[in-house]
Amino acid sequence: MEIYTLPYRLRSRDVDMYRRLRPSQLFELLQEAATDHSELLGVGISVIRKQNLMWVLARQSVEIARMPCYGEEITLETWPGRTVHSLYPRYYRVMDKDGACIISSAAIWMLADMDERALVPSSKSGFEFGFEKRGFEPALPSPPRRFFTDRSTRFVVPFSYIDMNGHMNNTRYFDLADNLSPAARAGREAKRILVEYSAELRLDREYELFHGVEGDRFFLKAGADKPLFRLVIDY
């Protein structure tokens, strides 16, 4: 299966006050590349909507050698792994203008019913991918082994964060993290990111966000006993 490539030049809207690519915009670019590729593979939004389905992200990890900067030309690459029951692995790389890989990522996507908001296995949806190993796939993400929080804040989901699936888009969680992380404010560059989505955040609902810092690691989640999402960033 061919690798999908998306050339891109960073604009002012993509970067933070330190002229580096925002984590939320990084995940948005990865999301757009995956969306474009799914259309070419015949499993895009216009196709899955006929079965009342939507793509949802379950878990994603990112390894960052360096964040690209304003005006820099990069190329995004993405390709799917082998479908396993209801899990659709997908891999990503971000290359600089010299062809060096500066960011790599692995994600687990799933299909869900639009009305029931329940997962739909590939045996029912009929959508399935084969697997052509490239030899440079990063490991699929695992749940965080440790999670530390010592403070909390309230958050109401605004209309601008809601996507076409009717919930807070996965990329917006990283704006929350940037706003709460002392390291991000100080201009420290993220080196590793792990995010896990367990339940969707809905429009106008208020949630309690728990966050904390332990060494070079920032933690963020919603929900105390049964987290709705968990996010870890290493700086």
> Which whole number is the average pLDDT over 64-73?
98
Indicate whether 182 and 73 sit together in one domain: no
12 domain-assigned: yes
Last residue of a domain, one of 80, 109, 125: 125
Return the number of other C-beta atoms located less than 10 Å from residue 204's C-beta: 9
Over residues 198-218, the pLDDT tens digits come to 999 999 999 999 999 999 999
> Which whole number is the average pLDDT over 54-70?
98
When the pLDDT of each residue in the chain is averaged and rounded to a whole number, the result is 95
> Which whole number is the average pLDDT over 64-68?
98
Last residue of a domain, one of 91, 125, 159: 125
Indicate whether 168 and 114 sit together in one domain: no
Indicate whether 11 and 121 sit together in one domain: yes
- In the chain, the percentage of residues whose pLDDT exceeds 70 is 100
Over residues 72-93, the pLDDT tens digits come to 999 999 999 999 889 999 999 9
Q: Is the pLDDT of residue 133 over 80?
A: no
99 domain-assigned: yes
Alpha helices in the chain (DSSP H): 23-40, 45-48, 122-125, 173-180, 182-185
Over residues 138-162, the pLDDT tens digits come to 999 999 999 999 999 999 999 999 9
Indicate whether 199 and 119 sit together in one domain: no
Indicate whether 120 and 22 sit together in one domain: yes
pTM: 0.94
50 domain-assigned: yes
Helix (H) or strand (E) holding 212: strand 206-214
**119: number of CA atoms within 13 Å, CB side?**
15
Indicate whether 9 and 110 sit together in one domain: yes
Indicate whether 18 and 95 sit together in one domain: yes
144 domain-assigned: no
Give the domain range for residue 64: 4-125
137 domain-assigned: no
Q: What is the pLDDT of residue 1?
A: 62
Angstrom distance (rounded) from CA 3 to CA 5: 6
Least confident range from 4-13, 20-29, 65-74, 118-127: namely: 118-127
Q: What is the pLDDT of residue 162?
A: 98
Q: What is the CATH number of the domain that holds 161?
A: 3.10.129.10
What are the residues whose beta carbons fall under 8 Å from the beta carbon of 213, sequence distance 6 or more?
181, 182, 183, 219
How many domains, the chain? 2
